[in-house]
């Protein structure tokens, strides 16, 4: 059962939802762009959380600063990196040993910066990294990246741009393009869940 938690990030209080499962492994799931209506209750975020929970993970989703009941203001992708680190620290302090980071859209972009700066994780998963909308030029190699997903009709995370970035990073994650899916996974949530469960098995 998910319970509401407060994550402290310097002078900002982040609203989160924690679902305790195993202390062996846990995942932080990040949400789409706050200025375009993104928050932790996004259906894709909830589907990712549910998939991980079914596979025995403790899950933590949260609202970035200035979103929902989280204090502070949108910080153009700078303070949001601290938010991601604070959420990971919260899981660790809750007693979870192996940490995974999974993000969708803007959340995937924020996570990429944290991971490429050297944050050590058990695994890193990106769903529709928004390469057609945000620059990934300052993102370096991310060796812990195990899975990247995007939709064949995703114009915000176009498959060819994602593939080019994978080549540039010289990493070899499992990369899957979901046929018939757009950036919002309209009608594609079961397909997304099935792929995630398969990967997590």
Q: Report yes or no: 102 and 27 within 8 Å, Cβ to Cβ.
A: yes
Q: Residue 177's pLDDT is what?
A: 98
Name the nearest CA neighbour of 83 among 33, 150, 18, 10.
Answer: 10
Q: Residue 184's pLDDT is what?
A: 98
Report residues of the chain scoring pLDDT below 70.
Answer: none
Domains located in the chain, CATH noted: 3-200 (3.40.50.1820)
Q: Residue 135's pLDDT is what?
A: 96
- Percent helix, percent strand, percent coil in the chain, to nearest 5: 30, 25, 45
Q: Residue 48's pLDDT is what?
A: 98
């Amino acid at each position: 059962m998910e319970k509401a938690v407060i994550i402290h990030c310097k002078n900002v209080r982040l609203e989160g939802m924690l679902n305790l499962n195993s202390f062996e492994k846990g995942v932080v799931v990040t949400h789409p762009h706050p200025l375009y209506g993104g928050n932790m209750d996004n259906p894709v975020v909830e589907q990712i959380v549910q998939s991980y929970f079914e596979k025995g993970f403790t899950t933590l989703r949260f609202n970035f600063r200035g979103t929902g009941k989280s204090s502070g203001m949108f910080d153009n992708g700078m303070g949001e990196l601290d938010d991601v680190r604070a959420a990971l620290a919260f899981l660790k302090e809750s007693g979870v040993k192996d940490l995974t980071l999974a993000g969708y859209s803007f959340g995937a972009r924020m996570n990429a910066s944290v991971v490429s700066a050297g944050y050590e994780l058990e695994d890193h998963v990106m769903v529709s990294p928004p390469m057609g909308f945000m620059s990934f030029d300052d993102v370096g190699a991310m060796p812990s990246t195990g899975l990247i997903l995007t939709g064949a009709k995703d114009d915000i995370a176009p498959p060819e741009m994602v593939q080019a970035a994978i080549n540039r990073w010289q990493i070899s994650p499992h990369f899957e393009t979901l046929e018939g899916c757009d950036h919002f996974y309209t009608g594609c949530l079961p397909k997304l869940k099935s792929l995630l469960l398969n990967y997590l098995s």
